[in-house]
Amino acid sequence: MKLFTLTLAVLLQLAGGLVTWYGAQAMFTTAGLMPPNLIVIFGVLIIFLASVVAARSQPAPALGWWLGVALVSLPFVLIAMPGAGAECPPGHPPLTSSYNCVAPRPLAIFALGVAGIGVALWGTWRGIARLRRLERT
């Protein structure tokens, strides 16, 4: 039963990650960075609640938290990643086939997202190492 609960929690975390990514698309506009919308908040809430279920359905260390941190960080890394194309200046003309620009990609958001994924990978590695130590004894 615990395996079923853990699997369901991880699937809910992944669904929350997709919802967060979908909602975050609207935060990065050609007019600049917008505040989080209800879809982003709902996605993060799904990830948080599923992380609680995952953490409670397995022995310590709770690996569910690290997946949750990674899933909250990943959408912002993917969207804010520096890419090709000129960023839109403030007050730019309407986008047409002859004039095109991309939404500004804040480097701070990208750096925070990468840091979140780094922390999640570090925590997962520490958790796996701890489980291996417990397994040996």
- Domain, as residue range, for 35: 2-136
Residue 102 is predicted with a pLDDT of 76
Q: What is the pLDDT of residue 106?
A: 84
Residue type (1 letter), 61: P
Q: Which long-range contacts (CB under 8 A, 24 or more apart) does 90-94 make?
A: 90/32, 92/30
Q: How many domains does the chain have?
A: 1
Burial (CB count within 10 angstroms: exposed 0-12, middle 13-18, buried 19+), residue 90: exposed
Q: Residue 104: is the preceding peptide bond cis (ω within 30°)? A: no
* pLDDT tens digits, one per residue of 17-64: 889 889 988 888 877 788 989 999 999 999 888 888 877 777 655 566
Mean pLDDT, rounded, for 91-119: 84
Q: Which amino acid is at 85?
A: G
DSSP per-residue string spanning 59-83: PSS-THHHHHHHHHHHHHHHHHS--
